[in-house]
Chain A
Amino acid sequence: EPEVTQTPSHQVTQMGQEVILRCVPISNHLYFYWYRQILGQKVEFLVSFYNNEISEKSEIFDDQFSVERPDGSNFTLKIRSTKLEDSAMYFCASSELQSNIQYFGAGTRLSVL
């Protein structure tokens, strides 16, 4: 069964460093999303991406965040200068055209020290 894959599963970084979280969406999906979940809190929408541009972003998605689809398969989330409060699980999701069921990857646990 097709699935969304995310790497790495766990990323440890020092405050102020840049991190790139990687995702490979399901191959025939055209809409891509990033969500995050701080430990013990709800899953929160960060950004959606379609046709090589951001469709919508939340208030959380400030200037330190960026997304990119560098090739035909990868979808990345970059955090330029990490803060302690960026520590969370980051989930990538994708959905088909005309379908709004989103399928989630296994997540990347980001730990900022």
Chain B
Amino acid sequence: QKEVEQNSGPLSVPEGAIASLNCTYSDRVSQSFFWYRQYSGKSPELIMSIYSNGDKEDGRFTAQLNKASQYVSLLIRDSQPSDSATYLCAVNMPLRTSGTYKYIFGTGTRLKVLA
């Protein structure tokens, strides 16, 4: 069974701080990694995608990927109360027949940004 592991939290950080969210995955075949934000009762919303080792920055968000250690992380700088949500790590799994992918999701980390 291919797994994606995340700490379920809650992770509480004060407003303005850096929130650090981590994810490990078990299948070395995976090549693409995604962070989604999910507010309660809502659909997952894509925050970041990352495909290569290293850091990728987009505004207040930085995704970090280390394929050798099989982990991917998300840093949120200057955290705001509106960032309070569950952050889902998703790892792609190639599908044999169609040439596309399915996502394996982690359980998500609940982030609380305290005003």
Contact B43 A102 (CB under 8 A): no
Residue of B45, B92, B95, B107 contacting most chain A CB atoms (<10 Å): B95
For the complex formed, measure the closest distance between the CB of A79 and the CB atoms of chain B, giving whole angstroms.
19
Which B residue's beta carbon lies closest to that of A32?
A: B100
| A56/B49 contact (C-beta < 8 A), A100-B101, A104-B44 known | no
What's the interface size class on B, roughly?
20 to 34
Contact A101 B46 (CB under 8 A): yes
Which B residue's beta carbon lies closest to that of A96?
A: B100
A45 within 8 Å of B (CB atoms): yes
For A, the interface residue count at a CB cutoff of 8 angstroms equals 25
Contact B92 A103 (CB under 8 A): no
What are some 18 contacts across the A-B interface (CB < 8 A)? A31-B100, A35-B103, A41-B107, A42-B106, A42-B108, A43-B90, A43-B105, A44-B105, A50-B98, A56-B97, A89-B41, A100-B100, A100-B101, A102-B103, A104-B36, A104-B45, A107-B42, A107-B43
Which B residues have a C-beta under 8 Å from some C-beta of A? 32, 34, 36, 41-46, 49, 88, 90, 92, 95-98, 100-108
Q: Give me the 4 closest cross-chain CB pairs, A-B, nearest first.
A: A55-B98, A43-B105, A100-B101, A45-B102
